């Protein structure tokens, strides 16, 4: 990349962080807002660059091999949710994610597709993070998936780094830290997903529920700061952190279809409008 182009992108990234400071609030990550403490990335390509530093931050190690996003979904149990009500393949996918491969399809709203293309071009492909597939053929060859367990000094899994790449190009689509966290005042934990970015991150708190057919529904609804939903955390040059609740809402429905195949419907909304639909089919390896 030419120095001029690199400087232009650095100015863009800095202005983006200033924007989130303008619409957000200062976050005390060692106190009141400790629930927003999560992995961040240093300058440059994100990809999997953040994993070792995240492991160091908890005094532990990063362990490659067969792992699950959540080793035991029962940690989410509470009023309105019981992991034992889930269909067996749904639970097995989350507890043994490395044993599954994924195919994906995408469909953008015509209104939001140009914005998706702009984000992918300016940020996604360059940073190797949050590269939402814009064209259906982008994911036509499938998605390669790897889970890396990030453990603390006692060996407990704090996060699972879920790395997803386009099989055709080996470029990162998503590089996220998956864990479980209870929000202040919540009656039970949520799935906590963090996508590290340079000097910050995007975080999503997903509230779990079950359907009568054993499906798992994970949703990040609208609501006030401090409740389930999407957040952007941005650090300033002086090290202070600022956080804002983003008007992005997601819902995942993980279910077993009539042929016994495990599938996921993923809907992303910007405010009240649907921006993107993704569909995944998951199959066991071997």
Domain count along the chain: 1
Residue 133 pLDDT > 80, yes or no? yes
Distance of alpha carbon 12 from the chain centroid = 23
Which phi and psi angles does 24 have, rounded to 5°? Answer: -105, -160
Residue 30 pLDDT > 80, yes or no? yes
- Tens of pLDDT, residues 208-258: 999 999 999 999 988 999 999 999 999 988 889 999 999 999 999 999 999
Distance of alpha carbon 251 from the chain centroid = 12
- Tens of pLDDT, residues 80-98: 899 999 999 999 999 999 9
Q: Which of 6-10, 12-16, 243-247 has the lowest mean pLDDT?
A: 6-10
Q: What is the structure's pLDDT at 91?
A: 98
Q: Do 271 and 239 contact (CB within 8 A), yes or no? A: no
Q: Do 112 and 217 contact (CB within 8 A), yes or no? A: no
Q: Which of 23-27, 173-177, 235-239 has the lowest mean pLDDT?
A: 235-239
Q: Give residues with Cβ within 8 angstroms of 153, minimum separation 6.
A: 58, 59, 60
Q: What is the structure's pLDDT at 237?
A: 83
Residue 69 pLDDT > 80, yes or no? yes
Q: What is the structure's pLDDT at 109?
A: 93
Residue 171 pLDDT > 90, yes or no? no
- Tens of pLDDT, residues 251-263: 999 999 999 999 9
Q: What is the structure's pLDDT at 1?
A: 60
Q: What is the mean pLDDT of residues 41-50?
A: 87
Residue 120 pLDDT > 90, yes or no? no
Q: What is the mean pLDDT of residues 45-70?
A: 94
Residue-averaged pLDDT of the chain = 92
- Tens of pLDDT, residues 141-169: 788 999 999 999 999 999 999 999 988 88
Note down the domain range covering 247.
3-284
Q: Do 141 and 171 contact (CB within 8 A), yes or no? A: no
Which phi and psi angles does 59 have, rounded to 5°? Answer: 65, 30
């Amino acid at each position: 990349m030419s120095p001029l182009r690199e400087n232009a992108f650095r100015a863009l990234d800095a202005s983006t962080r200033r924007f989130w400071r303008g619409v957000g609030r200062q976050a005390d990550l060692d106190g009141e807002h400790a629930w927003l403490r999560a992995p961040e990335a240093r300058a440059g390509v994100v990809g999997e660059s953040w994993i070792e530093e995240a492991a160091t931050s908890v005094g532990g190690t990063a362990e490659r091999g067969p792992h699950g996003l959540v080793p035991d979904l029962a940690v989410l149990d509470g009023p309105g949710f019981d992991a034992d009500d889930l269909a067996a393949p749904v639970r097995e996918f989350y507890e043994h994610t490395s044993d599954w491969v994924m195919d994906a399809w995408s469909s953008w709203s015509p209104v939001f597709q140009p914005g998706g293309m702009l984000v992918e071009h300016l940020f996604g492909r360059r940073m190797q993070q949050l590269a939402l597939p814009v064209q259906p053929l982008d994911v036509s060859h499938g998605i390669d998936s790897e889970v890396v367990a990030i453990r603390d000094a006692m060996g407990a899994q704090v996060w699972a780094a879920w790395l997803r790449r386009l099989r055709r190009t080996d470029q990162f689509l998503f590089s996220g830290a998956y864990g479980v966290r209870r929000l202040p005042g919540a009656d039970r934990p949520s799935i906590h997903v963090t996508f590290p970015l340079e000097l910050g991150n995007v975080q999503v708190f997903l509230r779990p529920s079950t359907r009568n057919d054993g499906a798992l529904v994970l949703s990040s609804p609208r609501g006030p700061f401090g409740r389930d939903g999407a957040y952007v955390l941005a650090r300033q040059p002086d090290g202070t952190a600022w956080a804002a609740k983003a008007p992005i809402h997601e819902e995942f429905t993980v279910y077993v279809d009539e042929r016994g195949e495990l599938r996921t419907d993923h809907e992303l909304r910007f405010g009240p409008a649907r921006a993107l639909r993704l569909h995944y089919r998951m199959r066991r390896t071997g």
